[in-house]
Structure 1
């Protein structure tokens, strides 16, 4: 313990330093962390990094998925649900199938079941990697929403494939009607458990006399409870966390006060950053142990690298094909919502760009590490070390090749040029603020007209604090004006919530303004 603890503290410090360096170089930090972990792993004398396969999902996935579900726009997910669903389920299955067929024909010792196991591991793209890479380039909100929505759901579908493949490899048989029933229960049961628990958590936050500290502590526990209960009932823990997180996120104004929401942003950002950083470092640090396993199996390193490169090519091609099929289906069935470029060439390149965003990361690593060394009867799991190595090569190549070239590809092709995204966002923000000012004025005149008459402090508030220094604290803000002002802020939240129902309004802009209102409320409380 005294040896491992300093090592993990050093890992956290390394994550912070490398992230700052990556930001300065304008490179996505997952790329830098993986490469750094790989280089660090060659330093002699470092303790081996081994994560318990039974705990890898439970430690990292619930908080990462929960935080991602709070950040995604549910309104945008509903708008693009067809293409998100196709990428999250159909594309994942097609990718896993492609890998399974390739592995069965070209990788020695791989059956179709073992190929599906490998396909389930490497099929889901990593949301963290994609978000970190695309932040250095400007992409439309529609593309961002598709990638975010896909990342929330494809983890569940890939892990369902992984679980069925594990059972098939262990038992040697696949009964399709039992699998179909299990699939339905895993999906519906997982979603239902997440929603029911989320509803209970919301009620608990509202009824209990919580403080910002206790609110945040509860939000740290909740994703683990959702995941654990769903897994105990043989449902999808991933879907439980995602559905529960989406429900709680859409109701955050009902059960968290302004202080809790403000504090939660910082706590969760720091927690998720540390967890992601450790995982990406582990990806690099775990390579020597994987290579030792390959040597023990008698597999030449250059042969294993070749297999990893070929599987990576299969993944890229399968995602490209899927992106163009999704584009074609959208043109046929929903032409009014299909993504469009400014020219035919750029429209044609949109699926290519979407297909090039398939970087692998946390989920693939977690699934690969959870493959047991041996079955319960003591028989060694077939090709485990090769599966681990191929997964590592896939993660490394997609991060380095696709991750480093994606920003260049977007800039070089100018695929999003001329879409006037910045101008549209600016205009929307200005219209929202103007409408909010008008709403504030009408709210005060209709509800507090008597209180406003002759009240010097409130008049100064209405003039945006222009003469704040001329009034003493009692004139400026007494208990009565505090009550009125907080009611005014609540009215603004209600106005923005109603405004968010407009499909043309960017939800991110609404959330930015709601955060500003939270800050204003906390400032008023301490005057």
Structure 2
């Protein structure tokens, strides 16, 4: 395909993304499912060239920024508090699911060698960070469950990728060493933490010394690819390196980035992540045609592979239920024996966790790296795509319903001592004390009476508020609703004056920028 045609195809794909994203809420479907189905439909449009994905290029383009986005905004305190649960899901659940899938694959396809069955298990076992984010950001979960699922999605790819590499090597060489595999996994994870931490620290030092805001934004965007590529070049886990760098950057960004840089970077970053997430799902859909053509057509899939694929999909879903409910039962026994370092989830929360196991781009990209000599390669490709399709379309679209039926409530024991109102009161008091310190001249005369009065009123309102959070939310919504209406009226008048040639473009842009910041502040405060 000519490079210009490739670019035209990319532009057309993003236009399709906009249309499908617009249609998703009107169809009552999660955008991930709509994009996946839309991409699959587009793959069979007459005249549209087949999309062949380079798996290594897909991973290096899409995975680092999407992992960084999750790590950057991860709350470190809950992450550390629930690290044992995250490790159970990211390592234990992945290995257990891979083992169950390997056994089922061997039962339904006895001709496959065990190493090939394990490779298939490694491909489909880790839930995907992109799929998890796409679904979780549109449902409301208790903090503990959200932390567990987000942490799992950040770390489990490393487990699946290491297991896959050793399984493929075992198929091709006929040898396997458990000790070597465990040692390699420890080296990859430990090395990834060191490399990612070092790059995160380097980013902190660099940004502190950059005076140009555009350079600061660029450095903040590029750090995800720097950490991933450095990890892979040093033969450690690029996934873990990216997550480690993201945790460091996210922790320090509050104290080293200016407000202007943070607003600019966040705006750019959100648009980029939106496009990348959407492109992932539509590319998965577009790749359906190539997978079907490779195995000989849809008839071959339905006739020769449907039973085996269905059995493996069932194994993938049920293995997660078995691991989570089994781990929760063990935790209850340990609690009864006196060990209370972690509380069990309970059956309702465990059901939600078990159902939230969507697969995505990593599963497909890893499947596409299967060597041609791999026994059962065609079946593995079809199975990988089918697992993605079923988990995103079935589990992803019904997860919100499952959460509502579970009736989960927030566990207040893990919440910090100050709520939003108390934190705002403390912040307002600190601001007033600083303004008060600067409001008077050495001779005692007041220099900034209006500022002092404004901050005093703000502190008084925050400190004396005694209603519930619900009442406060209603008051805030009404208050900032008036401000937003005033901003809209001011903007309309500015436009009228400009159209009537009573103000010039420079005046319009200057005053419009002030209104934009006022609107952003009001929207953020309204929640």
Q: Same fold (TM over 0.5)?
A: yes
What are the superposed Cα offsets for residues 357-382 of structure 1, whole Å, 9 maximum, x if unpaired? 0011122122122224x3xxxxx333
Shift of 1:267: 1.2
TM-score, L = length of structure 2: 0.80
What are the superposed Cα offsets for residues 4-29 of structure 1, whole Å, 9 maximum, x if unpaired? 21111011111122112213444211
Quickly say closer, same or farther: Cα 1:179–1:17, change in 2 above 3 A: same
What are the superposed Cα offsets for residues 241-299 of structure 1, whole Å, 9 maximum, x if unpaired? 11111111111123322211111111111111111111111111111211122128995
Work out the CA distance in 2 between the residues paired with 1:108 and 1:451: 89
Q: 2:213–2:261: 8 Å Cα contact kept in structure 1?
A: yes
Matched, 1:464 2:454: yes
Residue of structure 1 equivalent to 2:296? 295
What are the superposed Cα offsets for residues 122-167 of structure 1, whole Å, 9 maximum, x if unpaired? 1111233334334444321111111111111111111111122222
Shift of 1:446: 5.5
Q: 1:56–1:370: 8 Å Cα contact kept in structure 2?
A: no
Residue of structure 1 equivalent to 2:397? 404
Work out the CA distance in 1 between the residues paired with 2:368 and 2:321: 27
Matched, 1:30 2:32: yes
Residue of structure 1 equivalent to 2:256? 255
Work out the CA distance in 1 between the residues paired with 2:30 and 2:162: 29
Shift of 1:350: 1.4
Alignment of 1:182-201 (within 5 A): 182-201=184-203
Q: 2:102–2:120: 8 Å Cα contact kept in structure 1?
A: yes
Other structure's SS at 2:358 match = coil
What's the Cα RMSD here?
2.8
Matched, 1:360 2:359: yes
TM-score, L = length of structure 1: 0.80
Other structure's SS at 2:4 match = coil
Alignment of 1:151-300 (within 5 A): 151-209=153-211, 211-295=212-296, 299-300=300-301
Alignment of 1:45-124 (within 5 A): 45-124=47-126
Q: How many residues align?
A: 454
Shift of 1:425: 10
Q: Structure 2, unaligned stretches of length 5 or more?
A: 458-516, 522-527
Work out the CA distance in 2 between the residues paired with 1:297 and 1:18: 25
Residue of structure 2 equivalent to 1:505? none
Quickly say closer, same or farther: Cα 1:271–1:135, change in 2 above 3 A: closer
Quickly say closer, same or farther: Cα 1:426–1:136, change in 2 above 3 A: farther
Quickly say closer, same or farther: Cα 1:90–1:442, change in 2 above 3 A: same
Q: 2:436–2:452: 8 Å Cα contact kept in structure 1?
A: no
Matched, 1:439 2:444: no
Q: 1:415 aligns with which of 407, 417, 438?
A: 407
Shift of 1:318: 0.8
Q: Structure 1, unaligned stretches of length 5 or more?
A: 341-346, 375-379, 468-518
Q: 1:53–1:371: 8 Å Cα contact kept in structure 2?
A: no
Work out the CA distance in 1 between the residues paired with 2:298 and 2:31: 34
What are the superposed Cα offsets for residues 483-509 of structure 1, whole Å, 9 maximum, x if unpaired? xxxxxxxxxxxxxxxxxxxxxxxxxxx
